[in-house]
């Protein structure tokens, strides 16, 4: 029966010495194309280990880059813990897939740390991974891209190129200022290829303009282009006039070239020796010196003329004036006259004082301002001190004419400074309406605040103030009255004619019972009567003795209706009979002579 086996084997074409064929016999399937070299029975143990199926160690013996990444915990296999065969199935035929993964879902940024951005995002895997191994592709640009630069600019492509922009729009990223030729002005706007012809990016000559630009002048101007042209624009010829014999300053800067230069503009011949070469002389030759002695190139009007060299140096407000403000006159030839002008103020200014103060205006006024901020009277007297010192001029110097202006520009007309009186009433109104005459200084002082009465004493009057009268205010006695005063009818505090008797000020509380000689009982010290000795005390010695001596006045002088007083007042017409004060308890039975029985 074994011949059948041998026959079958032979029919199947088995040749034991051909290891590949024998391998094919024991192999569970053809190996995939990448492992094709491992076909054959002698290679089984390249991957398989006795009793261990396929161990990761065997795989990683060959796949060293993967082993390295697993050890470093990077890349796709960074977290792998299982055997390789868990994911990679072999013996599935020549076309067997060894790396099953969805290339469209592969997260290149996370798995490889090389994010596919910009134009990289759309390319197929094979565009970069040209070999079967995904690990071979490097992250450097040159590993995929050919270097078009001649000669090469090195491998730091990212200096100029990005993945987000097309390759030939590199200038958006490249900072040309890092090179020796910094791009300024119009150079910054031109395309790279304008200068870098044929993508030659290094070794390009740039020292001379003519390395890139052609000389457009009909007559060659040489290599010093920058003396006329700038990098900002070629068409605007900004000639550096400062390098010529006539540097342009001031208003000359704004003047168009053709104003001075005849065409062609590049064929320049300047006659800049005198101003008159270009400018007309408005002085018609009256000044022989150079124009620059008075004028500058910045302004014809505001020249450099030093007025201090004249008899009239311009200071303060005069300094800011235009020449024509003073030099108004023109000659017969129509030329502005600068000579022969008077230096007196009146030659320019109108005299608001109408000659009253003379022509020495500077005694009061300065060139800084027309206003007279402070003036010290020529003759210092007490009159100008005190309350008068701080007064404005016009407080005293009231012009007899109404201040007026001819025009809005004219100063206010002021006259009458010399005719001002120093008497008080020339300025002050007599509030006393002539009661005390015009010798105000008898009572008032200029140097006292508000002209206080420092010179007045009531002792000089007929009624010196003593006792309780001393602290009284004037108006306690001197009331304002409206009546005829020496100076006329009006209202004023009455100072004269005030009575010195008590009733002139005080009301008589006794309703005239005791007459007007109040001082016989009262004093200026107090109105109260502390002790009174009856005039008839000697005659009525008995009556005012005893118990009567200690009584208060009111015990006997009781209130009663008195003629001339609407209300009851203490009556001083008191009887000395006992019954006028005491009740007769005997009801008249014993007669009026109480002393016959009673004793004081």
Residue 51, interface with other proteins (CB under 8 A)?
A: yes
Comparing CB distances to other proteins, the nearer of 86 and 420 is 86
Strands (E), 117-210: none
96 backbone dihedrals φ, ψ, rounded to 5°: -60, 140
Sign of CA dihedral 203, 204, 209, 215: positive
Residue 93, interface with other proteins (CB under 8 A)?
A: yes
Distance CA 372, CA 363 (A): 10
Residue 100, interface with other proteins (CB under 8 A)?
A: yes
- Select from 9-17, 111-119, 176-184, 210-218 the region that touches other proteins (CB under 8 A): 9-17
Comparing CB distances to other proteins, the nearer of 21 and 336 is 21
Give the shortest CB-148-to-other proteins separation in angstroms: 41
Comparing CB distances to other proteins, the nearer of 1 and 589 is 1
Give the shortest CB-36-to-other proteins separation in angstroms: 14
Comparing CB distances to other proteins, the nearer of 29 and 437 is 29
DSSP H helix total and E strand total for the chain: 13, 6
Q: Residue 415's closest CA among 401, 429, 395? A: 401
Comparing CB distances to other proteins, the nearer of 32 and 171 is 32
49 backbone dihedrals φ, ψ, rounded to 5°: -120, 140
> CA dihedral defined by 492, 495, 500, 504, rounded to 10 degrees?
10
Contact between 505 and 477 under an 8 Å Cβ cutoff? The reply is yes
Comparing CB distances to other proteins, the nearer of 100 and 355 is 100
Comparing CB distances to other proteins, the nearer of 44 and 446 is 44
CA angle at residue 563 from 560 to 568, to 5 degrees?
30
- Select from 91-99, 169-177, 353-361, 405-413 the region that touches other proteins (CB under 8 A): 91-99
Radius of gyration of the chain (CA): 66
Residue 26, interface with other proteins (CB under 8 A)?
A: yes
Residue 96, interface with other proteins (CB under 8 A)?
A: yes
Residue 17, interface with other proteins (CB under 8 A)?
A: no
Residue 2, interface with other proteins (CB under 8 A)?
A: yes
Give the shortest CB-7-to-other proteins separation in angstroms: 9
- Select from 23-31, 172-180, 436-444, 475-483 the region that touches other proteins (CB under 8 A): 23-31
Among 18, 19, 20, 25, which residue sits at the site for other proteins (rule: CB under 8 A)? 25
Give the shortest CB-90-to-other proteins separation in angstroms: 8
Query: Residue 365, exposed/middle/buried by CB under 10 A (0-12, 13-18, 19+)?
Result: middle
Distance CA 348, CA 363 (A): 17
Which residue(s) pair with 482 in the sheet? Answer: 491
Give the shortest CB-99-to-other proteins separation in angstroms: 10
How many residues lie near other proteins (CB under 8 A)?
Answer: 31
Among 30, 108, 196, 261, which residue sits at the site for other proteins (rule: CB under 8 A)? 30
Residue 8, interface with other proteins (CB under 8 A)?
A: yes
Question: 10 Å Cβ neighbour count for 373?
Answer: 9
* Tokens 């390395």, located at residue: 211
Among 95, 273, 459, 475, which residue sits at the site for other proteins (rule: CB under 8 A)? 95
Give the shortest CB-198-to-other proteins separation in angstroms: 49
Residue 12, interface with other proteins (CB under 8 A)?
A: yes
Contact between 491 and 481 under an 8 Å Cβ cutoff? The reply is yes
Distance CA 129, CA 461 (A): 132
Distance CA 350, CA 411 (A): 8
Among 18, 89, 135, 498, which residue sits at the site for other proteins (rule: CB under 8 A)? 89
Output the six-digit token pair for 48: 């398989």
Comparing CB distances to other proteins, the nearer of 3 and 358 is 3
Output the six-digit token pair for 417: 């400074």
Contact between 173 and 192 under an 8 Å Cβ cutoff? The reply is no
Distance CA 237, CA 216 (A): 12
Among 97, 301, 441, 584, which residue sits at the site for other proteins (rule: CB under 8 A)? 97
Among 34, 48, 527, 532, which residue sits at the site for other proteins (rule: CB under 8 A)? 48
Residue 82, interface with other proteins (CB under 8 A)?
A: no
Among 20, 38, 60, 92, which residue sits at the site for other proteins (rule: CB under 8 A)? 92
Residue 91, interface with other proteins (CB under 8 A)?
A: yes
Residue 14, interface with other proteins (CB under 8 A)?
A: yes
Comparing CB distances to other proteins, the nearer of 54 and 294 is 54
Contact between 246 and 270 under an 8 Å Cβ cutoff? The reply is yes
Non-local CB neighbours of 160 within 8 Å, separated by 6+ positions: 153, 170, 171, 173, 174
Q: How many CA atoms lie within 13 A of 424 on its CB side?
A: 15
Residue 44, interface with other proteins (CB under 8 A)?
A: yes
Residue 509, interface with other proteins (CB under 8 A)?
A: no
Q: Which residues bind other proteins (CB under 8 A)?
A: 1-5, 8-9, 12, 14, 24-30, 44, 48-53, 89, 91-93, 95-97, 100
């Amino acid at each position: 029966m074994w011949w059948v086996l041998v026959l079958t084997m032979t029919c199947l074409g088995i040749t034991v010495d051909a290891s590949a064929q024998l391998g094919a016999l024991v192999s569970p399937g053809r190996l995939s194309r990448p492992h094709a070299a491992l076909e054959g029975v002698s290679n089984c143990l390249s991957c398989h280990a006795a009793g261990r199926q396929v161990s990761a160690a065997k795989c990683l013996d060959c796949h060293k880059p993967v082993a390295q990444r697993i050890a470093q915990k990077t890349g796709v296999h960074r977290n792998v813990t299982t055997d390789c065969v868990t994911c990679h199935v072999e013996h599935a035929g020549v076309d067997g897939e060894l790396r099953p993964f969805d290339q469209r879902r592969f997260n290149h940024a996370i798995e490889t740390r090389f994010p596919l951005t910009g134009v990289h995002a759309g390319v197929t895997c094979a565009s970069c991974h040209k070999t079967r191994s995904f690990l071979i592709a490097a992250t450097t640009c040159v590993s995929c891209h050919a270097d078009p630069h001649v000669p090469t600019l090195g491998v730091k492509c990212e200096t100029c190129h990005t993945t987000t922009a097309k390759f030939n729009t590199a200038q958006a990223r490249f900072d040309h200022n890092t090179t020796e030729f910094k791009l300024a002005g119009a150079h910054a706007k031109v395309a790279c290829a304008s200068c870098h012809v044929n993508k030659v990016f290094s070794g390009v000559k740039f020292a001379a303009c003519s390395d890139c630009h052609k000389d457009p002048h009909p007559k060659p101007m040489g290599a010093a282009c920058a003396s006329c042209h700038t990098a900002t624009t070629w068409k605007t010829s900004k000639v550096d006039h400062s390098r010529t014999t006539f540097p342009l300053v001031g208003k000359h800067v704004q003047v168009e070239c053709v104003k001075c230069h005849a065409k062609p503009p590049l064929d320049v011949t300047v006659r800049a020796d005198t101003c008159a070469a270009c400018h007309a002389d408005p002085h018609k030759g009256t000044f022989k010196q150079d124009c620059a002695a008075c004028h500058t190139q910045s302004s014809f009007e505001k020249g450099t003329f030093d007025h201090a060299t004249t008899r009239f140096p311009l200071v303060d407000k005069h300094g800011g004036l235009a020449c024509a403000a003073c030099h108004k006159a023109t000659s017969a030839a129509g030329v502005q006259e600068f000579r022969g002008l008077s230096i007196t103020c009146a030659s320019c200014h109108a005299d608001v004082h109408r000659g009253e103060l003379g022509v020495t205006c500077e005694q009061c006024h300065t060139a800084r301002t027309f206003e007279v901020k402070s003036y010290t009277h020529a003759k210092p007297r007490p009159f100008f001190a005190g309350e008068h010192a701080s007064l404005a001029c016009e407080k005293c110097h009231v012009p007899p004419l109404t201040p007026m202006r001819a025009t809005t520009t004219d100063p206010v007309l002021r006259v009458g400074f010399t005719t001002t009186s120093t008497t008080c009433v020339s300025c002050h109104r007599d509030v006393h309406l002539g009661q005390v005459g015009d010798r105000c200084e008898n009572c008032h002082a200029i140097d006292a605040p508000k002209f206080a009465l420092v010179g007045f004493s009531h002792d000089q009057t007929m009624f010196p103030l003593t006792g309780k009268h001393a602290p009284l205010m004037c108006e306690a006695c001197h009331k304002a009255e409206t009546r005829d005063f020496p100076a006329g009818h009006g209202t004023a505090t009455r100072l004269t004619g005030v009575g010195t008797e008590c009733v002139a000020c005080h009301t008589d509380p006794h309703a005239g019972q005791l007459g007007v000689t109040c001082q016989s009982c009262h004093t200026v010290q107090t109105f109260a009567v502390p002790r009174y000795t009856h005039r008839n005390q000697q005659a009525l010695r008995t009556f005012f003795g005893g118990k009567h001596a200690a009584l208060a006045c009111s015990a006997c002088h009781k209130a009663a209706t008195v003629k001339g007083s609407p209300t009851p007042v203490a009556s001083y017409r008191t009887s000395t009979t006992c019954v006028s004060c005491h009740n007769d308890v005997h009801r008249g039975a014993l007669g009026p002579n109480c002393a016959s029985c009673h004793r004081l």
